[in-house]
Structure 1
Amino acid sequence: MFISLFILTCLHPCYGHPSDIILWDHHVVPNSADIIQNEQLSKTGSITRVSTPRLHIYRPTYQQNHAAILVISGGGYAHEELGHEGTPTSKYLQKQGFTVFELVYRLPQEGWTSPLVPFQDGQRAMCIIRSQSKFYGYDSDKIGIIGFSAGGHLAGILSTTWKTPYYPPTDAIDTISSRPNFSILIYPVISMIPPLNHTHAYKSLLGIHSSLADQQALSVQLLVTPETPPTFIAHAKDDPVSSVKNSILLHQALDKNHVINQMILFPDGGHGWGLGKKGTTTTQWPALMMQWLKETKII
């Protein structure tokens, strides 16, 4: 009862989503340094300067499949492509019967005292989502995560380091497991190690000069264990931003650890295609993902 009441008192309608969940009480936002900044939302739906991390909730349009999913947009950890990635995907998944939670997270280079604030927001979000399973009517063991590009890196981190607390516990919600039950990674950034450490995500998290130890600590392929959740990966071979080698490395690590996974490589499509780039086979990934989720009996 405490957890449900806590969440309901944090609903915040002023962002255009009447059922937003605010992740943190403003007194306990980790690494905040009392930052107050005005959010910036571009005409295309790209957001920056987030100081109130939150979840947009999309309840199932039709018959519920009793599963929930956290959606994380990319943007190199410098902005969040809600308009192109997170929101369209949330609406698609809503129609498939999911209870969807779209994450709006803090960005590392905006004055916080730690660059790992996206990890804190993501981990907190997973705890909250699991705490609300009875309230929203989905199974607590059918909670997944999907991320695009840098959002795919964040989803990968949350899928592999869920035993690592990224912030001191603030309430009873933080005692709940943040482990996703399945993971969907779309053209993800995975490795922070040369020669793949040229992405904006790498620069935002680690800067230009970082130690090999720091690079390894944030390279998802090195964090995979047999406890990593079943994973679906989709990537285009001609991706000029996040090399397809990122997904291949992760796929190999998952296989090595005997983790159920499927990797789909499209011949073209580039980067940042969201639900798919018209005229390419990347438009097939949502249907392929749903097929995989059903074949593996995840949903």
Structure 2
Amino acid sequence: MKSLFFGLLLSMTFSSSFAQEIVLPLWEGTPPLQTDMGLEEKAVEQGIIRIENVQIPQIEVFLPSKQSRTGQAVVIFPGGGYHILAYDWEGRDFAKWLNTQGIVGIVVKYRLPDSKSLTDGKEVPLLDAQRAIRLARHHANDWQIDPDKIGVLGFSAGGHLASTASTQYEHEVDRPKDAIDALPARPDFSILAYPVISFRDASAHSGSRRNLIGENAPQELIDRFSGELNVTEDTPPTFLVHAQDDKGVPIENSFLYYKALHAKGVPASLHIYPTGGHGFGFGLGKGPVSGWREVLLDWMQSLESGQ
């Protein structure tokens, strides 16, 4: 990437000595699979910040102080049924919390497939996810990230995107390429919180499926975007968390993905809590599920130690 990214990196860095926040566009110029129609993004705060109709996808990078960085980074995909992004609740808030653990948090404002400006909406979220992971590797030296310790974290539909990025990291679409595209897009680990996984039958979250692939999608597309059908031996180690009383995304989604991972010999950790509902985020005030982040940190540390 030329002077645009470098200039934005400098201009959006609030401090060179302390914790930093950096905003970078995912793409130079008009993003791939998009036409410039003059559409505008919409952001509304209703308890949480909800973003619709993303036109300029970007990453917002939260850096801990240099002396506390562990080398790990987590690329975060907020949920919202592929229609909105719960941008602070399942994005910025988690990035800031990760910073307290010395982990770089990278929030992705990815494009949503129902925007009229997209030429092939179903391909765009994965395309943006791959780009975000590659950008993290591109800037690994600048941000003191180990390029082999970059994971993904996704919530609900963002969990679907994280699982798709973890199983279809080699998927490509016909578009212009640059030097960043030569970097690997495979995450080194995956964290999936109450994720949409399957688009098949009773396990499907109908809103996410409809918004991504349409109401009457062919079986080929349903299967392609059902994560449990695409797990291989090379799928990254995965942490899953779900509440038993989730009435938004059936708990079977996490079961299906865990079963597929186990069948392929991929290290996986599945954590089920009796209550918490859907979209519990940090889980504060929701009983035992409020401790899920500490369990996650133990798991991430076990990755570091190779246990």
TM tier relative to shorter chain: over 0.9
Deviation at 1:164, TM superposition (A): 1.1
Which runs of no fewer than 5 residues in structure 2 stay unpaired? 15-19
Counterpart of 2:40 (choices 35, 38, 60) is: 38
Query: Do structure 1's residue 55 and structure 2's residue 53 form an aligned pair?
Result: no
**Partner residue, 2:25:** 22
Structure 1 runs not aligned, ≥5 long: none
Give how far 1:18 is off.
6.1
**Residue identity (%):** 33
Contact 1:119 1:166 in 2 (8 A): no
- Taking only aligned residues, the RMSD between alpha carbons, in angstroms, comes to 2.0
Inter-partner Cα distance in structure 2 for 1:292 and 1:152: 18
The one-letter amino acid of 1:59's match is L
The whole-number CA distance in structure 2 between the counterparts of 1:273 and 1:241 is 11
- 2:6 corresponds to: 8
Q: What is the CA–CA distance in structure 2 between the aligned matches of 1:198 and 1:77, rounded to whole Å?
A: 11
**2:40 & 2:150 partners in 1: Cα distance?**
32
Q: Which has the higher contact order (CA 8 A, sep 6+)?
A: 1
Determine the C-alpha separation between the residues in 1 that align with 2:299 and 2:103.
15
Does structure 2 conserve the Cα–Cα contact (< 8 Å) formed by 1:191 and 1:197? Answer: yes
Aligned counterpart, 2:75: 70
Structure 2 counterpart SS, 1:134: coil
Matched, 1:236 2:240: no
The answer (yes or no) to whether the contact 2:39–2:55 under 8 Å persists in 1 is yes
With over 3 angstroms needed to count, the CA separation of the structure-2 counterparts of 1:18 and 1:275, relative to structure 1, is closer
Q: 1:110 to 1:80 in 2, by over 3 A?
A: same
> Offset at 1:248?
0.1
The TM-score, its normalising length taken from structure 2, stands at: 0.91
Q: Is the 8 A contact 1:169 1:175 kept in 2?
A: no
* Secondary structure of the structure 2 residue equivalent to 1:195: helix
Could you tell me whether the CA contact under 8 Å between 2:196 and 2:205 is conserved in 1? no
Distance 1:154 1:254 in 2: 17
| Partner Cα distance (1:151, 1:259) in 2 | 21
Change (3 A) 1:277 1:201: farther
Partner of 1:113: 119
Task: Say which SS state the counterpart of residue 304 (structure 2) adopts.
Answer: coil
Deviation at 1:6, TM superposition (A): 5.5
Tell me if 1:88 matches 2:88: no
**1:130 and 1:4, CA in 2 relative to 1: closer, same or farther beyond 3 A?**
farther
Q: Which moved more, 1:189-198 or 1:259-268?
A: 189-198
TM-score, normalised on structure 1? 0.93
- CA shift, 1:198, in A, is 3.9
Following superposition, the deviation at residue 215 of structure 1 comes to: 0.3
Specify the code of the residue in structure 2 equivalent to 1:127. R
Distance change >3 Å, CA 64–CA 12, structure 1 → 2:
closer
2-structure distance, mates of 1:229, 1:166: 22
Q: Distance in 2 between matches of 1:121 and 1:282?
A: 30
The verdict on how the C-alpha distance between 1:167 and 1:81 changes in structure 2, with shifts beyond 3 A counting, is farther
The aligned amino acid for 1:24 is W
Partner of 2:137: 130
Name the counterpart of 1:99. 104
Q: Give the counterpart letter for 1:81 in structure 2.
A: A
Partner of 1:247: 254
Q: Distance in 1 between matches of 2:272 and 2:21?
A: 38
Deviation at 1:60, TM superposition (A): 1.0
Q: Which deviates further from its counterpart, 58-67 or 234-243?
A: 58-67
1:49 to 1:261, Cα distance in 2 relative to 1, 3 A? same
2:157 paired residue among 144, 147, 150: 150
Aligned to 1:215: 222
- Preserved contact between residue 182 and residue 229 of structure 1 (Cα < 8 Å): yes
SS in 2 for 1:66: coil
Whole-Å Cα distance in 2 between the matches of residues 118 and 165 of structure 1? 12
Residues 152-180 of structure 1 show CA distances to partners (whole Å, capped at 9, x for unaligned) of 00000001111112453421000100110
Q: Which stretch of structure 1 is more off in the superposition, 279-288 or 49-58? A: 279-288
Aligned counterpart in structure 2 of residue 204 of structure 1, from 211, 216, 224: 211
Aligned-partner residue type, residue 62 of structure 2: Y
Pairing 1:240-279 to 2, within 5 Å after superposition: 240-279=247-286
Counterpart secondary structure, 2:106 = strand
Secondary structure at 1:19's aligned position in 2?
A: strand
